[in-house]
Structures are given as structure tokens and as C-alpha cells.
Amino acid sequence: MAADGPRVAVRVPAKVNLFLAVRGARPDGFHELVTVFQTISVYDELRVGLVGLPGRGHHPASRRRMRLELRAGEGREPSGQDMPVGEDNLALRAGQMLGEAAGVLERAGDSRRDAAGREPPRTVLDVTKAIPVAGGMAGGSADAAAALVGLNELWGCELPRERLRELAGQLGSDVPFLVVGGTALATGRGTAMAQVLCRGVFHWVVWTESEPLPTPEVYRAWDRHCRPSEVEPDAILQALRSEDAVALGAALHNDLEPAAFALRPGLAQRKQRLLDVGALGAVLSGSGPTMLALAADRAHAQSLVAALGDEMRAPIVARSPVGGPDVLRL
Ligand code: C5P
């Protein structure tokens, strides 16, 4: 990165939904959920840095004309999909929103030169991706959470995590969880949440697919094919408390599966294949198309990968839970 001022790096994990129940459609166009989120050890890295600041000791108000700029890093993109790099990029939108909320940026599109005709200073965001793009693991949301946390540090905004979570909810349903990480039970759109107890570590095989499955399409398919469900997360919460991978495998649940399977029938076969080769459980990750298989331990996860061989494109072995975004001042 060509930053000539302070820099911050944030390593941010992906999320999985161990349990996802859809209670029904809401008047605001979203769906009412009960879900258990957990962070998993697949990480994107966001670097943010300041370029062209008007010298040390400048007044913070000089940042009011800051511009934001995004670069895509050298990341592996296992899904084969490109991250959006335009104004609809969620990390960029997160930066703009934080900058406006904290008073360090003027409104979007307002990047006048100063009285001397100088370009305004820039904040550069650089994302290196390992989380599959549009895969149901909240890669875009993770980058947005990383931008909120990293720019809060870089700009010295000092907004508390609680305020960052409020801003996060305006960016997407998964973003508030990823600002905090760990294991959480969420309701509403998925943004109202409480941390829940999880003992031990769980091991997974993550089976990604190159063709994305857009989340709104999956919810629309749910509207066509499915009815609101009453299923409760008690068995999942008990398995997490008691460090019981077998019980967790049996309790994995996602009400979006019938909708995703209707759109992409191959996904149901994938789930079955993972169970056939001995996974403790298998479940669609969020709205898919990534499929997750739970293993007894890391060696078991590797044996599942070996058993499926070339059937799986770019399998990932990962563990959960991990924490939230990790911030490092460079
Ligand atoms: O909040 P997010 O941007 O992740 O949501 C993407 C889309 O997924 C929404 O526009 C909506 O169509 C659908 N969605 C939903 N109910 C939720 C979360 C997402 O219908 N609780």
C-alpha cells in the first residue's frame, strides 16, 4: 500500500450459521430469523492507511475533506468471484458511514480541492480476500465490519463497539455480529443479539462453489416454497455448552436449505455426500451455496477432504469459534 501516513491492519473472520430458523416475512422486506452465528477460521485482511495528510500535528478538522479509495489485494478468491470494487462495495460504504457519523468525512461525492487547489488527503482501503465471495459466509459483511473497526482506530474516532454495531446494522444483517465475533444468538433481521456460551473448538470442512447464489433470490425462493417454522435452537445451544460435537452435528439446522436446494439441486446431493463419507453433520452456510460439514477433530476433517477428493473444489479445513476482528497498528 502506498500510504505515507499511519496504517492499520484488521484480520476479520467469516461467519457460519449453526442454526437458522425463518419465522416469516416482515413488512420491511426482510425475514424474521432466529439464528446462531459463530465465527470460523477463514479470514480476510483489510489494510487501511492515510495518504497525503498535510503534515504532522495537523488539526483533525483537516480530515473533513478526506477521500476514500478501495484497492483489491492479492487474495486467493476460492469462489472465483470478484469482489465488487465500486461504490457498492460494502467496506467502502462502511468507511463512508463511519466517517460521516464521526465527523471526519464530508458527505459522499463531496471531494473539493482546498483553497490552494490541492487534492484532499486520501484514506486507502486494501482488501485481501480468502472468504468466498457471495458464498453464504458473509465475506462482504466481514470486510465492512473490518472497515468500521479499522477506520475507527486509524481516524481516532473512539466510537465504542456498541455504536459501531448500530452503524453495522444499517450496512447489512450480518455486519453487527462480525463487529464482535465469537458465538451469538440473534433474532429480528439477525441484528439483535446476545453472546452465548461455547466450550471447546469445532472442526469443519467448508465446501465452496464457484457460482454465487444471491441472498435475495434464496429468500424469494423461501417465500415460494416454504412456511414459517417454529423450530427452536435449544439443542444447538446445549451442544455448544457441553462441547459435544456429535450432538452439534445432529442439531445443525437451516430453514433456507429447501429454498437453496430448489434453486440449486446439486447442493442437496453435496450435503448427502458429506454425510455418506462420515461427517457428524452437514448444513448449508447462511443462504449458500457454501456447504459445511462438521468433523470430530482436525484429522477427521482432513479425512473427509481426502474421501471426497476431486469432487470438492478448493475445500477449506477450518475451526470455530474464533474471536472477532483483530486490529493491528502497523
Ligand atoms: O441484510 P443483507 O444485506 O445481508 O440482506 C440481503 C438480502 O437478504 C435482503 O435484501 C433480503 O432480501 C434478504 N434478507 C431477508 N431477511 C433477513 C436477511 C436478509 O429477507 N433477515
Tell me the per-residue pLDDT of 96-128, one tens digit each, with 9 for 90 and over: 999 999 888 766 555 556 666 667 778 999 999
Helix (H) or strand (E) holding 216: helix 215-225
Q: Which numbered atom of ligand 1 lies nearest the CA of 31? A: 16
Check pocket membership of 31 for ligand 1, CB cut-off 6 A.
yes
DSSP for residue 312? S
CA angle 39, 43, 45 (to 5 degrees): 130
Q: Which residues contact 142 (CB under 8 A, 6 or more apart)?
A: 12, 13, 14, 15, 44, 131, 178
Residue pLDDT, tens place only, 55-83:
654 545 455 566 788 776 544 444 445 67
Site to substitute for ligand 1 among 174, 187, 191, 219, most atoms within 8 A of C-beta = 219
Evaluate if residue 45 carries a pLDDT over 80.
yes
Predicted local distance difference test score (pLDDT) of residue 79: 43
Q: How far is the CA of 120 from the centre of ligand 1 (A)?
A: 36
Site to substitute for ligand 1 among 215, 223, 255, 285, most atoms within 8 A of C-beta = 215
C-alpha distances in angstroms, 174 versus 145, 168, 295? Answer: 9, 8, 25
What type of residue is 182? Answer: G
Min mean pLDDT across 43-52, 78-87, 157-166, 249-258 is at: 78-87
Average pLDDT, the chain: 90
| C-alpha closest to that of 318 among 184, 128, 137, 180 | 137
CB 239 within 8 A of CB 251: yes
| C-alpha closest to that of 141 among 187, 176, 184 | 176
